[in-house]
Structure 1
Amino acid sequence: GEEMFERSVEFYRDVLRMSEVRSWKNGTMKGVMLDFGSGIVEITSNGTDSPGQGAIRHMAFATDDVDACVEAVRNAGYKITMEPGDMVIPSEVPMNIRIAFCIGPAGEELEFFQEK
């Protein structure tokens, strides 16, 4: 609903420092597009308290500083579900990464990772 929309926009814009590139309103529906550097996240509200279809369970964001993302999320009062840590993802060319997870404002799982 409206409250979750506002919380989500504030989280992605203010906590994760995504810049607002476009917003609109059409009756009870509205939306905001936020730029995270290599792409755009679009958050919409359907004008009801029902979340509607297509809820997102998990999103991953590449970053240059996993630890700074986690601190911003923690300072905003959101739950960190996995503290930053280093790991190797097995693949044809193993990926050395730093990774962390948190829960976003709509209950979505967010992953922050940086390749080393």
Structure 2
Amino acid sequence: MSLIKGIHHVSMKCSSTEEYEKTIDFYKNILGIPVTREWQAGIMLDTGNGIVEIFNDGDDAPGKGVIRHFAFATDDVDACVEAVKAAGYEVFIEPKDIEIASTPVFPARIAFCKGPLGEEIELFEEK
């Protein structure tokens, strides 16, 4: 039996108030993720199955780490991509249908974009 129930949250650190506000705008207003908690130096946005936590510490942001990307489940990859592009963010893998060669085969529609901090975000629609 696993002691782990799932991923609780993904945390990002901003190095300026401008970066913090831009990051919140992206996740809250462009992707439509609602705020669940907010405090002086941070905010939590609830994706429905986990939380995106954003800090405004004012320090230097950490260097590039070992996290390759994180993925958001969606029912409409194409609508997400339209919203991201309309807001001026980079989509570096356009929406496409894939089949993950697993047993059983796992069909999905995916796209990748960059967020305000340069984070790689996968938009993932199970078929």
Same fold by TM-score greater than 0.5: yes
- Structure 1 counterpart of 2:33, one-letter code: M
Q: Mapping of 1:7-26 within 5 angstroms?
A: 7-25=22-40
Structure 1 stretches lacking a partner, 5+ long: none
User: For residue 100 of structure 1, what is the aligned residue in structure 2?
Assistant: 111
The CA deviation string for residues 34-56 of structure 1, in whole angstroms up to 9 with x for no partner, is 011221111112122x1036855
- Whole-angstrom CA distance in 2 between matches of 1:100 and 1:34: 21
- Whole-angstrom CA distance in 1 between matches of 2:115 and 2:106: 26
Identical pairs, percent = 51
The 3-state SS of whatever aligns with 2:116 is: coil
- RMSD of aligned residue pairs (Cα, Å): 1.5
Q: Mapping of 1:79-98 within 5 angstroms?
A: 79-98=90-109
User: For residue 4 of structure 2, what is the aligned residue in structure 1?
Assistant: none
Tell me by how many angstroms 1:4 deviates. Answer: 1.5
Normalising by structure 2, we get a TM-score of 0.81
- Structure 2 counterpart of 1:52, one-letter code: P
User: For residue 51 of structure 1, what is the aligned residue in structure 2?
Assistant: 61
Normalising by structure 1, we get a TM-score of 0.89
Count of aligned residue pairs for this structure pair? 111
Q: Which 4+ runs in 1 deviate beyond 6 A?
A: none
Structure 2 stretches lacking a partner, 5+ long: 1-14
1:69 aligns with 2:84: no
